[in-house]
Amino acid sequence: MAEVTLDELVKEFEDVVAVDHVSLDIPDESFTVLVGPSGCGKTTTLRLVAGLERATDGLVSIGGEVVNDRRAYERDIAMVFQNYALYPHKTVEENMRFGLEQQGTDEEVIEERVAEAAELLQIGELLDRRPSELSGGQQQRVALGRAIVRDPDVFLMDEPLSNLDAKLRVQMRAELNKLHDELDTTTVYVTHDQIEAMTLADQIAVMDAGEIQQVGPPTFVYANPRNMFVADFLGSPSMNFLEGDLRRGDAGLVVDYGTFEHDVSEAHRSKVEHRVGERLVLGVRPENVGVAEEGYPATVEVVEPQGEKTVLELTVGEDRTIHASVEPDVDVSVGEEVRVAFDRSKLHYFDPGTGESLT
Ligand code: ATP
């Protein structure tokens, strides 16, 4: 078993609290992604698991054993970094063998593991080359190979795809998925790229300012963000937020945005009712905004075809800007007056003060 547990983990650098009481269970064989904006503490958290930083407070356990006092080489982990960190003067094969040789592994085992990893990563024909003779994608595969041959309990990966171009990144993402399916090694993966996080993870931990904001399966977190930070961070374009006043209308509750208003659905009523008379933020994802026969009057400001979808920027109620992701063949043009409707089953309500979800 190689589950990783972080218990109230803290890391301070002089006046910066990089990791602020982080608790997280990373199940055995899971692919857990730490995701968040630059500086939120992802890398520091990973380095604490690796043993490259010492915790100011809290515990790191691997396989049920507290490892705070174990050095990096005494932890059964293998790291893959964004800059590959291959030895430039060694061949691919030598790069892959090196860690095992250092550990005093039997020659037979080394040969077997290198051959297996080379086959898995399809780099068999590159074994005699040096890193400078490889493309970025090939170098990244070698870096993965070097981690795989170690057969560790845990893989730790820090933005391993960020130096690759967009197309190769998508391809390597698929390969990482496949690799994880085959090896089932517990993996902790750091990225600031929410799409990478959504596609790779079976568990994501969204971080901000040294703290974990939410943990869960990516589709669950996407559909049920706990607060406005998580709602905003996951998804592109981001969730639309509209702040208004909650009041009683003729037939129930309405949110009044000044120039337009909408009825709170039956399903949400009990969750927001106690806030009548207060400000409220409605959240609606662009894919849940549609151009319809009936709805709020809106003006099309920007039409951005993106291939599989078209993103519209619209002004609703004179002064609110929202985005809609619609079918690519939508027939609207800039300046046109249209009507927009929200998918009522996919709305979120937030407290404007704390940002916490009310739904
Ligand atoms: P990025 O995506 O930019 O790599 P990150 O989420 O991985 O960011 P960290 O690198 O963990 O963030 O940094 C978290 C905070 O700790 C930042 O404010 C950073 O400046 C600070 N920090 C990280 N390492 C050190 C260090 N060795 N000394 C001082 N401050 C540090």
The interface predicted TM-score of the complex, written ipTM, equals: 0.96
For atom 20 of ligand 1, the residue with the nearest CA is: 39
Give the CA-trace dihedral at 97, 49, 34, 20, to 10 degrees: -160
C-alpha distances out from residue 64 to 25, 74, 202, Å: 11, 15, 21
251 pLDDT tier (thresholds 50, 70, 90): confident
C-alpha distances out from residue 291 to 128, 208, 282, 338, Å: 58, 34, 18, 7
How confident is the model at residue 359, as a pLDDT? 86
For atom 21 of ligand 1, the residue with the nearest CA is: 18
Q: Could you tell me which residue, 339 or 73, shows the higher pLDDT?
A: 339
Instruction: Kindly tell me if the per-residue pLDDT of 319 is higher than 90.
Output: no
350 pLDDT tier (thresholds 50, 70, 90): very high
- Provide CATH 2.40.50.140 ranges for the chain: 240-350
pLDDT tens string 13-65: 999 999 999 999 999 999 999 999 999 999 999 999 999 999 999 999 999 99
Mean of pLDDT values over 201-223: 97
162 pLDDT tier (thresholds 50, 70, 90): confident
Q: Is 330 exposed, middle or buried (0-12, 13-18, 19+ CB in 10 A)?
A: middle
Residue ranges of the alpha helices (H) in the chain? 42-50, 92-102, 107-121, 136-149, 166-183, 194-200, 218-223, 228-233, 266-272
For atom 15 of ligand 1, the residue with the nearest CA is: 18
CA distance 205 to 30: 13
Instruction: Kindly tell me if the per-residue pLDDT of 318 is higher than 80.
Output: no
Q: How far is the CA of 121 from the centre of ligand 1 (A)?
A: 32
CA distance 329 to 309: 8
Instruction: Kindly tell me if the per-residue pLDDT of 84 is higher than 80.
Output: no
For atom 3 of ligand 1, the residue with the nearest CA is: 38
Mean of pLDDT values over 344-349: 92
267 pLDDT tier (thresholds 50, 70, 90): confident
Q: What is the mean pLDDT of the chain?
A: 93
Q: Could you tell me which residue, 58 or 86, shows the higher pLDDT?
A: 58
Q: What CATH number labels 4-233?
A: 3.40.50.300
Instruction: Kindly tell me if the per-residue pLDDT of 339 is higher than 80.
Output: yes
260 pLDDT tier (thresholds 50, 70, 90): confident
CA distance 88 to 307: 40
How confident is the model at residue 239, as a pLDDT? 97
How confident is the model at residue 279, as a pLDDT? 96
- Provide CATH 3.40.50.300 ranges for the chain: 4-233
240-350 CATH choice from 2.40.50.140, 3.20.20.80, 3.20.20.10, 3.40.50.300: 2.40.50.140
How confident is the model at residue 98, as a pLDDT? 92
Q: Report the pocket of ligand 1 as residue ranges, CB < 6 Å.
A: 13, 16, 18, 36, 38-44, 192
Which of 248, 242, 277, 278 shows the shortest CA–CA distance to 264?
Answer: 248
How confident is the model at residue 285, as a pLDDT? 97
Which residues lie across from 203 on neighbouring strands?
Answer: 32
Look up the pTM and report it: 0.91
